[in-house]
Structure 1
Amino acid sequence: MGATIKDVAKLAGVSIKTVSNVLNGYPYLTEATKSKVEKAMAELDYRPNIAARNLRRGRTGVIALALPNLSSPYFAEIAQLVVGEAGARDLTVLVDATDGDLEREKLVADGFRSQLLDGMILQPWSVSAQSLRERGDRSPLVLLGERRVMNADSVAIDSRAAAYAAVEHLLTMGRRRIVAIGSKVRGRGGRRPQEPGRRHKGYEEALAAFDVPFDPDLLSHPEGDHTPEAVARAVDDLFRTTTDVDAFFAFNDRVALGVMRALLNRGVRIPDDIAVIGIDDIEAARLNSPSLSTVAPDKAGIARTALEMLADRIAGSDRPARQVVADFTLIERESTKPR
């Protein structure tokens, strides 16, 4: 049987309350007292029962993270960062993939198994802002992405500004026939993540700023989950309509990498013939040859901010909801280097 808090107190020559104060970070303790307790814990290899401590506080020490999918490298990286930030706060994360399904997102937002959780972080795709505003569960909720709700904390990059920066980068290099390739902006009744619509808007605004006419023939929408095969089919379909193309702006890096593979298979030189840029800065973007230019969201900042806001709510804060816009950085790599 492991050492108990009583064993630590006896070895350190202090009260059980003093050991508890050390464990809970009580500020008004002398360094000598803290040192004695910490030395005793080390000698006894004492491991505090975090679960019991959380239950005494009326908490479970568990939060949920619900993302549209985990096959996406971007979401996988966000999940890893959230787990790391949570671990630094002695929190365990239950990770769920909703597949952007409306009913599954509603279950999460409405507090499914909320009695087991201290709070949750959700990236919604399908559930409406109204449903999120009217959810019955009052457990702490932080939203990722641009489905913003005035009564819920949220954090995301500005997808419109990120897209504008990517397309502006291509335009300043003299590219004028720029394909926008990514998720189709769906109407009511289908999945409606906010980001594709905002990225399309940023694309159009950048073209207008450089007096480049918008051409609907330069829009491409891979079907399904953006597999390389789906992206290749979309590129093939596009080139059956027009070959007057000198750049691709992809709504995410996964699509951009698929575009690059399809272009290389056609004998296209990147970036000499056609430049390519994406958004997300996933690991594969750096490792690919040629390496992929991209707009890099501050993913670590997004994870850290989400955990800070959630921890604040779990602690009982009733401050007004915050909508935080995370930073991003444009990273030029080989796929757009000047000719």
Structure 2
Amino acid sequence: MTVHLKDIAAYTGVSIKTVSNVINGNNARVSPATRAMVLEAIEKLHYQPNIAARQLRKAQVGVLAYAIPDIRNPYFTEIGDIMTRVAEEYKYTLLLDYTYGPRDPEPDGKIRYIDYAYGSFEKELSVIKGLRPHLIDGVILDPQALTVDDIKLEEVKGPLVLLGERVFGAPFDHVLIDNVQAAYQATRHLLELGKRRIAVIGAQETQSQAPSLRLKGYVRALQEVNREIDESLMISGGYWHRADGANAMRYLLSLDNPPDAVFCFNDLMALGALSVINANGLRIPEDIAVMGFDNVEEGQFSYPTLSTISPSKEEISRLAISLLIGRIKGTRTQEPECIQVPFELCIRSSTVRNPAGMQINIS
């Protein structure tokens, strides 16, 4: 069935003229909220402009997209929240797209998606090949399934900025943190507290390089103090959600010689681990210290509050938006860069009793 302007107008409750203004890029006449609503309706109803579409592909429409790999993980939604505000400062609207991460099992018990870390290959591929090509000026993508070989320059439609630890070497600006150094600092902190059996949750092979990079930092810290590497303390993190951290912690507590500290490769797993330790009546951090990674807001209100690695979400967001807009406007013409942003070691009560807001800044 062919979708017309009047169908979009009826669906959104705005006038046909307003829909026409959005499609023709007359953004000054439409509020950002209305424009975003109309664009979403165009996508849902599969409206296909013809001549207008060809014109819009050559024009800037003032809309960016951020493709989130896991909407249930607050790290990504916190990034999206900051990006939305930053985009508004540049007079752009930011649309959030979801590349379908972990899902609940199907009725037969199987979980169907490409990688048990996060992303969907097909969805991410559709993003780089032209997510709403006539409606979006550029895309920020945190890939979890694509490889560098999948991102072919001639197939990418429009400016693209990459985030995270999945794709290295692609010909696009890339924003991330030094995961090896961050994990090293987290492990050093636990060692300096006198912890001797430090487990990790999230040590697994995935298409994302985050687990291997963080494991590398953990191993380096142990090797520096001549600590034996005990592979029985390296536990998979499943889907890297709260339940996975809880299940891993139950296993660690069942060992004949359980750990006295655990470094979780993200905060969600750490929060799950905290709940199990508390339920077993153990003292945190005296019996078991817990370290997370990401500094999601929930960790500031857990019991006890969660020590964690805090990537600078503000700088990640600002840098990604500014790099993308620079490519869109043609003011950024240099070769693509891989740019690392700072992180902080936030020390809270899960590793140090009454830390009084100790915080270590690391570039």
With the shorter chain as reference, the TM-score category is: 0.7 to 0.9
2:246–2:269: 8 Å Cα contact kept in structure 1? no
The structure 1 residue matched to 2:147, chosen from 112, 115, 128, is: 128
The structure 1 residue matched to 2:235, chosen from 206, 214, 220, is: 220
Distance in 2 between residues matched to 1:148 and 1:138, nearest whole Å? 19
The equivalent of 1:119 in structure 2 is: 138
The structure 2 residue matched to 1:49, chosen from 25, 29, 33, is: 29
The equivalent of 1:163 in structure 2 is: 183
The equivalent of 2:263 in structure 1 is: 249
Shift of 1:222: 3.3
- Using a 3 Å threshold, how does the CA distance of structure 1 residues 284 and 48 change in structure 2: closer, same or farther? same
The number of equivalent residue pairs is 286
The equivalent of 1:44 in structure 2 is: none
Unmatched 5+ stretches in structure 2 = 1-26, 33-54, 102-118, 355-363
Shift of 1:129: 1.1
Trace 1:133-212 onto structure 2 (pairs within 5 A). Answer: 133-134=152-153, 136-146=155-165, 147-182=167-202, 184-186=204-206, 192-212=207-227
Distance in 2 between residues matched to 1:113 and 1:234, nearest whole Å? 41
Distance in 1 between residues matched to 2:346 and 2:274, nearest whole Å? 17
2:246–2:272: 8 Å Cα contact kept in structure 1? yes
Q: Which has the larger radius of gyration?
A: 1
Task: Say whether residues 1:264 and 2:278 are aligned partners.
Answer: yes
Task: Say whether residues 1:273 and 2:287 are aligned partners.
Answer: yes
The equivalent of 1:12 in structure 2 is: none
Letter in 1 for 2:219: E
1:154–1:322: 8 Å Cα contact kept in structure 2? yes
Distance in 1 between residues matched to 2:320 and 2:237, nearest whole Å? 31
The equivalent of 2:78 in structure 1 is: 77
Distance in 2 between residues matched to 1:248 and 1:113, nearest whole Å? 43
- Using a 3 Å threshold, how does the CA distance of structure 1 residues 204 and 140 change in structure 2: closer, same or farther? same
- Using a 3 Å threshold, how does the CA distance of structure 1 residues 48 and 338 change in structure 2: closer, same or farther? closer
Q: Secondary structure at the match of 2:130?
A: coil
The equivalent of 2:92 in structure 1 is: 91
Distance in 2 between residues matched to 1:284 and 1:183, nearest whole Å? 23
Shift of 1:286: 1.0
Distance in 2 between residues matched to 1:117 and 1:153, nearest whole Å? 18
Task: Say whether residues 1:296 and 2:310 are aligned partners.
Answer: yes
Shift of 1:202: 0.8
Distance in 1 between residues matched to 2:290 and 2:57, nearest whole Å? 55
Letter in 1 for 2:141: L
Distance in 2 between residues matched to 1:225 and 1:293, nearest whole Å? 17
1:133–1:149: 8 Å Cα contact kept in structure 2? no
The structure 2 residue matched to 1:323, chosen from 338, 341, 347, is: 338
Q: Which structure has greater helix proportion?
A: 1
Letter in 2 for 1:255: M
Letter in 2 for 1:193: S
Distance in 1 between residues matched to 2:183 and 2:225, nearest whole Å? 15
Shift of 1:96: 1.2
Distance in 1 between residues matched to 2:245 and 2:289, nearest whole Å? 16
Distance in 1 between residues matched to 2:93 and 2:256, nearest whole Å? 51
The structure 2 residue matched to 1:107, chosen from 116, 119, 126, is: 126
Letter in 2 for 1:328: F
Letter in 2 for 1:92: T
Structure with greater contact order relative to length (CA < 8 Å, sep ≥ 6): 1
- Using a 3 Å threshold, how does the CA distance of structure 1 residues 133 and 160 change in structure 2: closer, same or farther? farther
Distance in 1 between residues matched to 2:28 and 2:254, nearest whole Å? 65
Unmatched 5+ stretches in structure 1 = 1-46, 187-191
Distance in 2 between residues matched to 1:252 and 1:309, nearest whole Å? 27
